A and B are shown apart, each in its own frame.
Chain A
Amino acid sequence: EMQLVESGGGLVKPGGSLRLSCVVSGFTFRNAWMSWVRQAPGKGLEWVGRIKSKTDGGTTDYAAPVKGRFTISRDDSKDTLYLQMNSLKTEDTAVYYCSTGYCSTGSCAFDNWGQGTLVTVSS
């Protein structure tokens, strides 16, 4: 069974940093394209960014609101996806989900999701 488990969320002050992790099992992580999707309280889904598999170049793309502040990386030896979040703003408060699936020119579909981890940015 495919499982994605996020961790690392919590309360952080504006301007602070946080690193989220997503440990996966039940599938070959190194072949997977991975994304982070967030959901602010009471709001809709917002794509944060994506990292391709190393076989496909390992490149990243980010949504405009987080570009330059957030960095997605992966450690295939640990089956783990990361989201490094710097210069956090109150508007970054959300549940952050990791997900699998192709997301690039042509289509974007997320077929497996974690349970999410809550990040709260507040003074």
Chain B
Amino acid sequence: QSVLTQPPSVSVAPGQKVTISCSGSSSNIGNNYVSWYQQLPGTAPKLLIYDNNKRPSGIPDRFSGSKSGTSATLGITGLQTGDEADYYCGTWDSSLSAGVFGGGTKLTVL
């Protein structure tokens, strides 16, 4: 059971927008920055968002992040078949003194 809670899967049509939620508590999301990762099939994860809403160089602005209280959200617009992947949220948990991830959300673009 993951410390952070994500929906197991979401399906969206090409060209549409999707949001993926990540729910936690005051010991993790509530008092720490959130990051988001994309993992394409058979590859290593890639950082999409850090510090709740910042994008690393090279990440298109179709990807966005936000946080409110003990929940965070990843938004993706203009969905393409190439966006089909598993998406993970992550942060630090101050009670556990450990990094923590969500269970992952499988995005299907159909």
Residues of A within 8 A of B (CB): 35, 37, 44-47, 50, 61-64, 97, 101, 103-116
Residues of B within 8 A of A (CB): 2, 32-33, 35, 37, 39, 44-47, 50-51, 56, 86, 88, 90-92, 94, 96-104
Complex interface: chain A residues within 8 A of B99 (CB): 35, 37, 47, 50, 63, 103, 108
Q: Which of B47, B51, B90, B92 contacts A105 (CB 8 A)?
A: B92
By DSSP majority rule, is chain A's interface helix, strand, loop, or mixed?
strand
4 A-B pairs closest in CB distance? A47-B99, A107-B33, A109-B35, A109-B50
Offer 6 A-B interface pairs, CB within 8 angstroms, sorted by A: A47-B98, A47-B101, A109-B33, A109-B50, A113-B44, A113-B46
By DSSP majority rule, is chain B's interface helix, strand, loop, or mixed?
strand
**What's the nearest-Cβ distance from chain B to residue A110, in Å?**
6
**18 extra A-B contacts, CB within 8 A, seeds A44-B2, A110-B37, A114-B44:** A35-B99, A37-B99, A44-B88, A44-B104, A45-B88, A45-B104, A64-B96, A101-B47, A105-B92, A105-B94, A107-B35, A108-B99, A109-B90, A110-B45, A111-B50, A113-B44, A113-B45, A116-B44
> By the criterion CB–CB under 8 Å, are A45 and B96 in contact?
no
Expressed in whole angstroms, the Cα–Cα distance for A17 and B60 within the complex equals 42
Q: Which of A46, A97, A112 contacts B101 (CB 8 A)?
A: A46
Complex interface: chain A residues within 8 A of B86 (CB): 44
> By the criterion CB–CB under 8 Å, are B90 and A108 in contact?
yes
Expressed in whole angstroms, the Cα–Cα distance for A61 and B97 within the complex equals 7
Q: Which of A104, A109, A113, A116 contacts B51 (CB 8 A)?
A: A109
